[in-house]
C-alpha cells in the first residue's frame, strides 16, 4: 500500500526505493517540501531592468519574480486576486501587470493600480485587499531564490555552511554562456543524483579515465553535499583502474583533458583556461609535474586577467577545500571553477513522478561590456543527440529511463550508495526526510 512513508531507513549505504517511485511520497514532497524550502528561481541578469520578470513554476504553483526598481527584486504569486486567473507566463518586460480577464492592474511593487468599476463595491473593496500576494526572495552568487514560507530561516542561514566554502568564487560576477532544458524520463531525484557523485565516471564516462584519477570523497555539509578528488597524486594522471604506468610528463595530459571537456561539454573552461593549458604544453619536456602545475595556475590567472575576465580572490587551498561539485538542497547542483561553472536544476513534473523538468546552464566571467545578453533557453527532445547535448550529457541521459523503470522491479528494495564516494546522495535523502518530518 502506498502511504508516503519511506519503505526503510536512510543510511549512508541505503536509500528506500519509495523515495523515487512511490506517488504518495511525491505527494508528501508537494505538501511538505516545495511550499517551505528555498529554491533557485533565476539569475539576476534575467532581471536586468525594472519591469523585467520571469515566472518560476513548481508543481501547481507559479511565482512571478521581477525587478521592481534598480535595487529591489520582488516575487508574487502568479494569480489575480479577483477571479483567480494566472496573470502571465514565461518571461518579459512590463510597466504594470494587467489581468487579461477583466483588466485589473497592479504596480511593480504589487500594489493595486486600477480596479475596473471599483465604485460598484461601494467601499467594501479597498486597494490593499487586492494587492498581489508576496513571496520571499533572497540573493546569493547572482542567483535569485524564492521561498513561499514566511517563517523559514533567512536564505543566508539556509545556505550555510556551504556558503562559506563557495563565496570566494564570486559567482555573482559570472553570466550565462548557454542555457538548455529537457524533460527527462526519471524522477527529479534520480536525474539530480546523476550529477551528485563521480563514482559512475569509471563506467559511464570511461573515456575520461585516460587523464582523470576518478576516486573521490563525498561529504555531507549540513543539508547540502559535495564531492572532490580523493587521489593523493597529481591531477591529469590516468586512472589507476587502467593499470597504466604513471607518466612523468603531465603537459599533454593537461592539454588533452581541457580540450576534451571543452569539446564535449562546452562548459567549465573558458578560452583563457584553454590558452593556459596550451602554454603549458609548450614548456620543455623535462618540466617537473610540480613546476608544470604551478605554471598552469599562473598562466590561467594571467590569461583571464589579460582577457578582462579577471580572477576571483581565491587561493589554491580554498579551491581544494571546496572540492569539485556541490549539491545545494534540494534541487540545485553545480561544478565550479574560478571563472566558470556548470549548473543543474531538477523540478518534478506535475502529475508524473516518473518525469522531471531539467535545466542545465553554463556560466562564465566576461570582460565588462562583452557579456552575452538575453541568452535563450534551448530545448532538444532527442536526449541521445551528441550534436545537441555533447557526449558526456548524452552518456548521463542514457541511464535515466533504465534507472526509473528498474527501480520499480520487485527485485529492487532500495539504492545501495557507496558510503565513501556517494555520501552526498544519501545525505540528500536524509535531509529530505528530516525536512519533511519523516523521521528515520
Q: Cα–Cα distance between 166 and 176 in angstroms, integer?
A: 18
Note the pTM of the prediction, 2 decimals.
0.95
Other C-beta atoms closer than 10 Å to the C-beta of 204 total: 16
DSSP string computed for 67-87? E-SSS-EEEEESS-TTT----
Low-confidence ranges of the chain (pLDDT < 70): 1-7, 440
Residue 268 has φ and ψ, to the nearest 5°, of 75, -15
pLDDT digits (tens, 9 = 90+) for 203-228: 999 999 998 899 999 999 999 999 99
DSSP string computed for 27-64? HHHHHHTTTTS-EEEEEGGGG-STTEEEEEEETTEEEE
Beta bridge partners of 77: 63
Residue 186 has φ and ψ, to the nearest 5°, of -160, 155
Q: Cα–Cα distance between 107 and 93 in angstroms, integer?
A: 13
**Torsion-angle region of 372 (φ positive above 0: left; ψ -120 to 50: alpha; else: beta):** beta
Torsion sign across C-alpha atoms 77, 81, 83, 88: negative
In this prediction, residue 233 carries a pLDDT of 80
Domains, in order of start, for the chain:
1-34+164-440 (3.90.380), 39-151 (2.102.10.10)
Q: Cα–Cα distance between 296 and 224 in angstroms, integer?
A: 31
User: 48 near 67, Cβ under 8 Å?
Assistant: yes
Q: Cα–Cα distance between 248 and 287 in angstroms, integer?
A: 9
In this prediction, residue 4 carries a pLDDT of 60
Residue 136 has φ and ψ, to the nearest 5°, of -65, 145
Q: Cα–Cα distance between 427 and 13 in angstroms, integer?
A: 10
DSSP state of 117: T
In this prediction, residue 1 carries a pLDDT of 41
b/e for 86-104, b at 16 or more Cβ within 10 A? ebbeebeebeebbbeeeeb
What is the pairing mode between strands 340-349 and 332-337?
antiparallel
DSSP string computed for 261-303? HHHHHS-S--HHHHHHHHHHHTS-TT--HHHHHHHHHHHHHHH
Q: Which residue has the cell 532500495?
A: 414
In this prediction, residue 316 carries a pLDDT of 87
Amino acid at each position: 500500500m502506498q502511504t508516503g512513508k519511506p519503505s526503510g531507513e536512510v543510511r549512508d549505504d541505503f536509500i528506500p526505493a519509495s523515495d523515487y517511485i512511490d506517488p504518495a511520497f511525491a505527494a508528501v514532497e508537494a505538501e511538505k517540501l516545495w511550499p517551505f524550502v528555498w529554491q533557485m528561481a533565476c539569475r539576476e541578469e534575467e532581471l536586468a531592468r525594472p519591469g523585467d520578470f520571469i515566472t518560476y513554476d513548481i508543481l501547481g504553483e507559479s511565482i512571478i519574480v521581477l525587478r521592481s526598481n534598480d535595487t529591489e527584486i520582488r516575487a508574487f504569486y502568479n494569480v489575480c486576486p479577483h477571479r483567480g486567473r494566472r496573470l502571465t507566463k514565461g518571461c518579459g518586460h512590463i510597466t504594470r501587470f494587467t489581468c487579461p480577464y477583466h483588466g485589473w492592474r497592479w504596480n511593480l511593487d504589487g500594489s493595486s493600480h486600477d480596479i475596473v468599476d471599483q465604485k460598484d463595491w461601494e467601499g467594501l473593496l479597498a486597494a490593499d485587499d487586492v494587492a498581489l500576494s508576496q513571496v520571499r526572495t533572497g540573493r546569493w552568487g547572482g542567483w535569485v531564490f524564492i521561498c513561499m514560507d514566511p517563517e523559514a530561516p533567512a536564505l543566508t542561514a539556509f545556505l550555510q555552511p556551504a556558503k562559506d566554502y563557495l563565496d570566494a568564487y564570486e559567482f555573482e560576477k559570472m553570466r550565462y554562456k548557454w542555457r538548455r532544458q529537457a524533460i527527462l524520463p526519471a524522477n527529479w531525484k534520480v536525474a539530480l543524483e546523476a550529477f551528485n557523485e563521480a563514482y559512475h565516471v569509471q563506467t559511464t564516462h570511461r573515456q575520461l579515465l585516460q587523464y582523470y584519477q576518478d576516486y573521490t570523497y563525498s561529504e555531507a555539509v549540513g543539508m547540502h553535499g559535495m564531492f572532490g578528488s580523493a587521489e593523493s597524486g597529481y591531477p591529469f594522471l590516468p586512472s589507476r583502474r587502467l593499470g597504466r604506468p604513471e607518466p612523468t610528463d603531465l603537459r599533454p595530459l593537461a592539454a588533452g583533458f581541457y580540450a576534451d571537456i571543452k569539446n564535449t561539454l562546452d562548459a567549465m573552461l573558458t578560452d583563457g583556461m584553454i590558452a593556459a593549458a596550451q602554454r603549458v604544453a609548450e614548456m620543455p619536456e623535462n618540466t617537473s609535474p610540480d613546476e608544470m602545475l604551478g605554471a598552469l595556475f599562473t598562466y590561467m590567472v594571467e590569461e583571464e586577467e589579460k582577457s578582462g575576465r579577471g580572477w576571483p580572490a581565491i587561493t589554491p587551498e580554498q579551491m581544494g577545500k571546496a572540492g569539485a561539485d556541490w549539491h545545494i538542497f534540494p534541487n540545485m547542483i553545480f561544478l565550479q571553477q574560478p571563472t566558470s561553472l556548470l549548473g543543474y536544476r531538477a523540478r518534478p513534473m506535475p502529475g508524473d513522478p516518473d518525469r522531471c523538468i531539467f535545466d542545465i546552464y553554463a556560466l562564465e566571467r566576461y570582460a565588462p561590456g562583452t557579456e552575452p545578453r538575453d541568452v535563450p533557453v534551448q530545448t532538444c527532445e532527442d536526449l541521445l543527440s551528441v550534436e545537441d547535448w555533447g557526449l558526456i550529457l548524452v552518456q548521463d541521459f542514457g541511464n535515466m529511463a533504465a534507472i526509473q523503470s528498474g527501480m520499480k522491479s520487485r527485485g529492487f528494495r532500495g539504492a545501495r550508495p557507496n558510503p565513501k564516494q556517494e555520501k552526498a546522495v544519501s545525505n540528500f535523502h536524509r535531509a529530505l526526510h528530516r525536512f519533511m518530518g519523516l523521521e528515520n
